[in-house]
Amino acid sequence: MDKFARMLPALLRRTDVVLELRDSRLPLTSINETLEGAIQKWRRERGRIAATSGLPAPASYGAATPCERIVVFNKRDLVPEWGLEPFRRAMLSKFPDHRLFFASWHRPRDIKALNEMLVSVAKEHPHAPELNVLVVGMPNVGKSTLLNALRNIGIPGPTAKALRTSSQPGLTRAISTRLKLSIDPLVYAYDSPGVMLPFLGRGDKGAERGVKLALIAGIKEGLYDVEALAAYLLYRLNVLNPRSPAYLQLLPDTATATADVLEFLDQLAARLGMLKRGGERDLSRAAVWFVKWWRDEGGLASASAPLSPASQTRQGWGFDFEWTVDARSGEDAPAMVQRKMEECIERYLVERREGAGVSVTQEKKKAREEKIAKRMAKTRARLVGRR
């Protein structure tokens, strides 16, 4: 990861399109500041972002050179459909230079639409002999799977699986050789190692980010106690559907929603017959089964959660958005959801500006670099004065 992060600026200089993959369940947590800074600098150098405001530059400026940043939210089938359009509008209100795309690798029409988007970018620049695409994102977000699917659609006839894939993070360890995605026009792509967040954050916020990433297998779940993962998953499923959480289908028909993870795991272990020697219920084994169920089946079940109409109810979308439902006069449900999402995004941006994503070690390193830069500037000034 460190090696790729160091290579990224040079790699971007020969890149025409950046496909940045994020997880729809963690659309904010999966924003990587390491990638964000490098991509923004690349777009400024290509004239696509105004150097001062950060907003998109005039369309005519730098348009001769391909420079597209497409943010792909993978696994759209694992979040409720009612939140997709409000989320898209909320993101564009805060990040106007982003080009957003929602996809699920299980839906061929999504892959086909993304392939057509890349081909259209290539056709907009007929003078360019080829279009080079760099796929970046966090570990286990689906980069290699995406490239295999794009290649399968873009190249006529049977194509072999070009890149290995895994359900665990860390399989891709180096930049791949160029992979052909389209013949006419020529489109090539590079796969890259997943780049982990440089720092998860301090205190409860940092701990929560880590648990979220462990649940989606973005980092190794062995770093966390499995019962802690189960407790957080239980909490989130209660927020996603306060009336009928998805986990109720695992329990007897008489069971009701609960916030007590020990009570839930005890019921689940009894239902599954998970007992230790002596007849004691095995809560740890039930917690492992619960997390695996959610990854394999429960994610789809929780994505069918309806938007709660009840005022003052806690509601969420994915694992990054949570709000209290309120009914303002004249405001329809999509407008309310968009407003709540914009508030969540603004809180995330405030945390980022206040340095929530910077560790003490990184702060010391930055201060040391600034001190060295000032010392060198003084030295240069003295040398100029002597001349």
Q: For residues 364 and 179, which has the higher predicted lDDT (pLDDT)?
A: 179
Q: What's the number of domains the chain is made of?
A: 1
Tokens of 82: 């009612």
Is residue 61 domain-resident? Answer: yes
Per-residue pLDDT tens over the stretch 352-365: 777 655 555 555 66
Q: HEC profile for 283-325?
A: HHHHHHHHHHHHHHHHHHHHCCCCCCCCCCCEEEECCCEEEEC
Tokens of 55: 């907003």
Q: For residues 85 and 220, which has the higher predicted lDDT (pLDDT)?
A: 85
Q: Does residue 307 register a pLDDT over 50? A: yes
Is residue 145 domain-resident? Answer: yes
Q: Would you say how long the chain is, in residues? A: 387
Is residue 301 domain-resident? Answer: no
Q: Is the bond leading into 185 cis (omega within 30 degrees of zero)?
A: yes
pLDDT band at 142; cut points 50, 70, 90: confident
By the 10 Å C-beta count (0-12 exposed, 13-18 middle, 19+ buried), 3 is classed as exposed
Q: HEC profile for 330-368?
A: CCCHHHHHHHHHHHHHHHHHHHHHCCCCCCHHHHHHHHH
- Residue 63 CA to residue 56 CA, distance in Å, equals 12
**pLDDT value at position 119?**
92
Cβ proximity of 143 and 137 under 8 Å: yes
Cβ proximity of 191 and 144 under 8 Å: yes
* Percentage of the chain lying above the pLDDT 90 cut: 41
Task: List the one residue out of 49, 213, 42 whose CA is nearest residue 134.
Answer: 42
| CB proximity list for 195: less than 8 A, separation 6 or greater | 1, 4, 5, 32, 34, 35, 136, 137, 138, 139
**pLDDT value at position 294?**
95
Secondary structure (3-state) at 24: coil
pLDDT band at 249; cut points 50, 70, 90: very high
- Report the chain's mean pLDDT, rounded to a whole number: 83
**pLDDT value at position 173?**
45
**Mean of pLDDT values over 119-132:** 90
Per-residue pLDDT tens over the stretch 82-113: 999 999 999 999 998 889 999 998 888 999 99
Neighbours of 316 (CB within 10 A): 23
Per-residue pLDDT tens over the stretch 143-166: 888 888 888 887 776 554 554 444
The lowest-confidence range among 30-44, 111-125, 160-174, 196-210 is 160-174
pLDDT band at 179; cut points 50, 70, 90: confident
pTM reported for the whole predicted model = 0.80
Question: Dihedral of CA 237/243/248/254: which sign?
Answer: positive
Is residue 156 domain-resident? Answer: yes
**pLDDT value at position 166?**
43
Is residue 20 domain-resident? Answer: yes
**pLDDT value at position 18?**
92
Per-residue pLDDT tens over the stretch 278-288: 889 999 999 99
Is residue 47 domain-resident? Answer: yes
Is residue 9 domain-resident? Answer: yes
Is residue 135 domain-resident? Answer: yes
Beta strands in 183-290 (DSSP E): 187-190
**For the domain that residue 80 is a member of, what is the CATH number?**
3.40.50.300
Domain with 136 in it: 2-190
pLDDT band at 115; cut points 50, 70, 90: very high
Q: For residues 159 and 204, which has the higher predicted lDDT (pLDDT)?
A: 204
